[in-house]
Each structure stands twice: as C-alpha cells, then as structure tokens.
Amino acid sequence: MEYLNPARAPYTAHDRALIGIGHARRARAHFAGRPAYRPTPVHTLPGLGGTRAAYVKDESGRMGLGSFKALGGAYAVHLLAGRDGGGTPFVCASAGNHGLSVASGAAEAGVECFVYLSDGVPEEFAQRLRALGARVRRDGGDYDASMAAALRAAQERGWRLVADSSWEGYTDVPLDVMRGYSVLFDELTDTPTHVFVQAGVGGLAAAAAGYVRDRWGERPRIVVVEPEGAPCLIESARAGTPVRVQGAPTTLGRLDCREPSLIAHRLLHRLADLYLTITDDQAAAAAALLAGRGVALSGCGAAGAAGLLALSPAARTALALDDTSRVLLVGTEGPVEPK
C-alpha cells in the first residue's frame, strides 16, 4: 500500500521550534560527554534498489544498547531529572529498546526505574533491563496493555512517565525523546536525495523529517515505511487526523503500533512525501540482502530498505527516484537474538 501525501507543505518556523538542527546539536552536546558515545557508521551500498547508492546509518552498536532508541529515552530522562530533580522514579512501557534507553538514563541519574513489558517481549530484553538496574513488570498480551499499565502506575504512584508516543495533554516528554533521536541525523556528512525511515508510532520518522527539512531544505523526499499489519500512520494521513487501526499480527514487533504519536503525525502529515507499507516477508528479505552485503540488521532494522525495494514504478516516478539518487536508510537495530 502506498499513499502520496497531498498535504505536504513547506517546513516552517513552528516546525523548527519542535524539531530541527538546534535541538539535535543540544542533544548531541549532552551525549558527547558520555564515554559510550560515538557517531555510528554509515555503510555505502552502491546500486541498491536501482539507486546510485544507499547509505545505511547503522544503529546496531549505539552506545552499547543496540538501537537508535539509546538516544531518545535517556535524553528525555536527563532533561526531566534536570527540570524536576528529586528521586521520583521513572516509568515506561517498552517492546525492549525504549526501555533500555530509559533504564540507562535513570541509572545515570541515580533514580529508580520501572519498565512494563507485555508477555510477548523476549526474556532477553527483560534480563538486559535488569542488568541496567530497572525493575521489570510484565503486564498484558501486547504493547498497548503494557502502556496502559505504565500510565496507570504513573497516575496512581506519582512516577514520572517517559513515553515515546504522545497524545493530547502529553507531548513535552515524547518531544524530548524525538529530539534525542535527531542526533543520529546530525552525525551525517553527505546530503541525501531521499530518506526512507521506518515507523512504529512515528517518533523517529518525525525526527528525520524535521531535521532533514531544517538542514537540507525541501528537496530530499521523505518516505515513511510501516508494517502492513500496523499501518497507523498511513491511515492517519489518509484521514487527516490520528486514527487507531485494528491491524494484524506482524513479526516486526518493535514497529507493531496501532495508534500514532500525536506530534509525530502532525509533523509527518505536513513534511512526509510518501507513506508505504511492507510485509513481514519483504522485511526479512531486505534483512537477508543487507546481511549479504555486510550490514547485519533485524527485519525491523531493515524495514526502510524493504520500503525502497518494494517501491512501485509509479511511486518511483512521483519521488524522482532513479539511478542518480542517494538514499538514506536507518538501520535501527541489529539482529535480535533468539528468545
């Protein structure tokens, strides 16, 4: 499924106030003082998907946590700790990677952290969370259930919620999470003509859109890639307002989100050029192809590449994507270890 965005509009000062170079530079300055921080590598894959080259920003080694999310939750925790002070615990829900980031930030701040996981999250993630000092709670059969449990705990116990999604009345913290993500784009040196970025609730995609528009202007085309089983952003774009989708089972667990982040939807609705969905098999095939070229990612991590490979001829024409194009892909995480 593909959807060329008719609501695409120019980047504005209001957009810049939310996501842009300035926010990325401030977040990067924070991380620059951390021993584990270093820019992640970019792999050049000539000819991928009929392009001049695809450039894969490989987040699999990010700060020892294994995904781009190491930048988001930890940065939001840092800002919350600086604003609020005190030892009030942090709490979040996670499918794994966001929780690792929040737990890492809480450990650095010396504050207790609770992470709610659904029953389906691999125990390997739970063990890694505990190793960072987090207290893990299992609640519910899916991410939505664990998110509801984390929100309930925050409301009942007065804990500080660090969510990577946003809704009416809760936008400041998830915006800080997105600003943390934008660090990875600030590490780039070359100018892309196209950016394919995968999305769950849309935080990374919105961070990409805001940063890319601020730094490189209107020319780069931005493509949002979602699982066929969880097309919340594409359906929200069609409706012009955030909608919750029923969806279907997908193996792309960390992209399996039924409802978009409010602020992510609002940014992408104006700044993204195209939305498309991919199947689980297409993601797996893309991961296998990238592995054969020396880039080891999970299906989720390779979803942007899967979107590039799945693009229809009509969409290629609409995006002016051809053998002169330089495409940025984000390898969001490394291969997931067996359960």
Closest by CA position to 116, among listed 131, 132, 107, 103: 103
> Mean pLDDT over residues 14-35, rounded?
96
More confident: 143 or 278: 278
User: In b/e form, how buried is each residue of 254-281, taking b as 16+ CB within 10 angstroms?
Assistant: bbbbbbbbbbbbbbbbbbbbbbbbbbbe
User: In b/e form, how buried is each residue of 22-36, taking b as 16+ CB within 10 angstroms?
Assistant: ebbeebbebbeeeee
Tens digits of per-residue pLDDT, 175-230? 999 999 999 999 999 999 999 999 999 999 999 999 999 999 999 999 999 999 99
> Mean pLDDT over residues 278-299, rounded?
98
Tens digits of per-residue pLDDT, 44-66? 999 999 999 999 999 999 999 99
β-pair type (53-58, 194-198): unpaired
| pLDDT recorded at residue 141 | 87
Compute the distance between CA of residue 66 and CA of residue 128 in angstroms, rounded to an integer: 11
Tens digits of per-residue pLDDT, 82-119? 999 889 999 999 987 899 999 999 999 999 999 999 99
Position 338 pLDDT exceeds 70: no
Compute the distance between CA of residue 51 and CA of residue 78 in angstroms, rounded to an integer: 40
Compute the distance between CA of residue 237 and CA of residue 5 in angstroms, rounded to an integer: 7
> Mean pLDDT over residues 251-261, rounded?
90
Compute the distance between CA of residue 23 and CA of residue 78 in angstroms, rounded to an integer: 14
In this predicted structure, which of 97-106, 149-158, 218-227, 251-260 has the lowest mean pLDDT? 251-260
